[in-house]
Structures are given as structure tokens and as C-alpha cells.
Amino acid sequence: MESKTVSKWFWVWDFEKEEAWLNEMAANGWALDSVGFCKYRFVRCAPGEYTVRTEMHPFDESYIRFMEETGAEYVGRMMAWIYFRKKTDNGVFDLYSDIDSRISHLERIGRVLTAVGGANLLIGVINSAGVRTGLGWINLLCATFLMYSLGRIHGKKEALEKERELHE
């Protein structure tokens, strides 16, 4: 079976762009087969045969079994992100059925970014004040980047909340 591996980077706030790219690959006859750090393995398929969805979700085998019962195939996970694909002829494939579930997903992402960013901030301050002053800047830089990411996710969440208000 013909396959190819593509190295590509997506920021955490660009998960929708990542999903759109994966679906464009599927539309061009390349089905996502496995994932790794900035690496995607694709296998040849009929153009448009699959729809791909991604989600930040804690590892949960019962959730994976539930998704497989709906006809989705578990492709893999990369850190906290989980990847599924489903044949398009099995119907529409969405992980979020409404605005509230999309907001909930953004809140999960935000909690992870807050925890990791806060930990980096704390470690950076401790390292900067202690004996190892040379390494503290790395954690402080990571904390800054993670807080920037949190701001981008928060902006998406606010936009969805405004959209929800318009529909009420």
C-alpha cells in the first residue's frame, strides 16, 4: 500500500487549521494513518473517502470504544490530542454537536495551557531567584508562549459565546 510521511507544525490554537489540512489530504486521496510529533503518516485512499477529526481529550479507552461504535476509527494520539477518521459514506462526522460542546473543548484546552503555563512560570521564578539563574529564562519564555496560546484560545471561546448569544 502506498504511503507517505509529512512533517508539519501546527500551533495549539491552530487545531482547526490542522484538521482542515488533514481533511484536504483525505480529499486528495491520502488518509491519515498515524501521528507523531510534527509527523503525519498517510496511506493512499479514494479521494474524499475519509473525514478526520481531532480533539484534546484525556486518554480514555471507553471513549475510544464509544467513538468506534459510531463508525469512527481511532488513528492515534499525540500528547493530549486524539485523532479519528471516519468513512464519509457513513454520514456526517462531527465531534461537537453544538456551540456549547465547542466551548467546552476550548475550556479543556485552556485548562491544560493554564496548568502547564503556571508550572513553567513558577519553575522559572524559582530558578531565576535560586542558584541556577541561567536556566530560569527558558521556563519564563515557555510560560510567556503558553499564556499567549491561552489568549488565542480564549479569543476563540469569546467569539463562540457571542455567536451563542446571537442564536438565543
User: What does the DSSP 8-state code read for residue 133?
Assistant: T
pLDDT, tens only, 46-84: 999 999 999 999 889 999 999 999 999 999 999 999 999
Sheet containing 3-7: order of strands: 3-7, 39-44, 30-36
Q: 55 with 66: CB under 8 angstroms? A: no
Q: How far apart are CA 128 and CA 43, in angstroms?
A: 48
Distances (CA, A) of 122 to 108, 156, 162: 21, 27, 34
pLDDT, tens only, 11-29: 999 999 999 999 999 999 9
Would the pTM of this model clear 0.75, i.e. be above it? yes
Instruction: Please measure the distance between the N-terminal and C-terminal CA atoms of the chain and give it in whole angstroms.
Output: 50
For 26, counting Cβ atoms within 10 Å of its Cβ (0-12 exposed, 13-18 middle, 19+ buried), the class is buried
